[in-house]
Structure formats: C-alpha cells, structure tokens
Amino acid sequence: MAGLDDILKMIPIDQLASKLGVDPDTAAQAVEQGGGAILTGLQKNAQSPDGAAAIQKALGQHQGLGDSVDVDSVDTQDGEKILQHVFGEREQAVKQTLTEAPQTAGIDFGKLLPMLAPIVMGLLAKKQQPAGEAQAQAQPQESSGGGIGDLIGGLLGGGGGQQQGGGLDIGGLLGGLFGGNK
C-alpha cells in the first residue's frame, strides 16, 4: 500500500529492528501492521465530524516531517497520547492483539506503536499539504466522507484497512475491536 510504503521508506528499518531486537524483515512487517492499525483507527475516527476535526487539529502539530526519521528522536510520549486519542479504551487490546498475531510474533507493539504514531501523523500532515497534481489525485473528491477521511483511506489503499502484502488482514484482526467493521 502506498501509505505504508511511504512509512517504510522514512524509517531506518535496521535501526528500528535493533531497538526491537528482531531482524529487519520482521521489523518491516511490524511497521506495516502497526501503521495499518493506526491508519485504520484514524479512519474510524474520521467518520464523525468531531473525530475528523480532532485529527485535523492534531495534524497541525505534526508538520515538518522530512524524508527520513531518526527512530531515536521520535517523541514516544507524544505517540502514547496519539494512540490514546486514536484507540481510546481499546488501546491495550489493539497492542495485545497485534503482539499476539502469529505473523508478527516477537514484536512488542506496546513499544512499536508509540514510535510509529508520530511518524504516521507526520506523514498525514505532509500528504495534506498542497503538493500539486499528486496531492489532488491522492484525495478523491467524489467520496461522501471528504477531507481527512479520504486522505487516510488513500493511504490504506482505498480504505479497506486490509494489509495485502504482509499477509495480515488488519481489518479482520482489529474488526472486532472497532465494532466489527472491516
């Protein structure tokens, strides 16, 4: 998926793998799964006007992301706050569900997600900034959700919330946590 690929390009996977104590391939798959989960949660929140407004406000605080990220400089306390807003009372269940998934065995998502959340928000803020034709194509105008929901849906590959390449169906895995929606 385009959005998750963008996240992978920004993160030095070897550095992240070292922090997580896993090999780079496992770390890359975990970034895909964790990023997909965060985007799915954001997309769910963007379905309400209040949720969309809160996301827009948060994006204003996460502008200025460059083309790469130093994992050691990511503000994980900010990441925890983002996760609390995105998942609410489901935060621990999301972390546990991802950690226990066989496809991501060995990854502590309680450690990974707070690193990923500010990066995902920075990527969304970056994608939202006017960037000519590429930006116009990334935001379909015909969708009834409009705005931030379309942007998040585009990063998820049309809004299905399902991970195609990594083999883990994020929508299915987290569907029960988000009211059964895939």
| pTM for the model | 0.74
Under 8 Å between Cβ of 116 and 7:
yes
Overall average pLDDT of the 132-151 stretch: 46
Domain annotation covers residue 181 = no
Overall average pLDDT of the 98-121 stretch: 87
**For the purposes of burial, counting CB atoms within 10 Å of the CB of 153, is it exposed (0-12), middle (13-18) or buried (19 or more)?**
buried
Domain range for 168 is: 2-175
**For the purposes of burial, counting CB atoms within 10 Å of the CB of 81, is it exposed (0-12), middle (13-18) or buried (19 or more)?**
middle
- Under the banding of pLDDT at 50, 70 and 90, the label for residue 167 is very low
- Residue 158, pLDDT above cutoff 70: no
Query: Total structural domains in the chain?
Result: 1
Domain annotation covers residue 81 = yes
Domain annotation covers residue 180 = no
Domain annotation covers residue 75 = yes
Domain annotation covers residue 50 = yes
Domain annotation covers residue 16 = yes
Residues 45-100 pLDDT 10s = 888 899 888 888 888 888 877 777 888 888 999 999 999 999 999 999 999 889 88
Domain annotation covers residue 182 = no
Average pLDDT, the chain: 75
Domain annotation covers residue 132 = yes
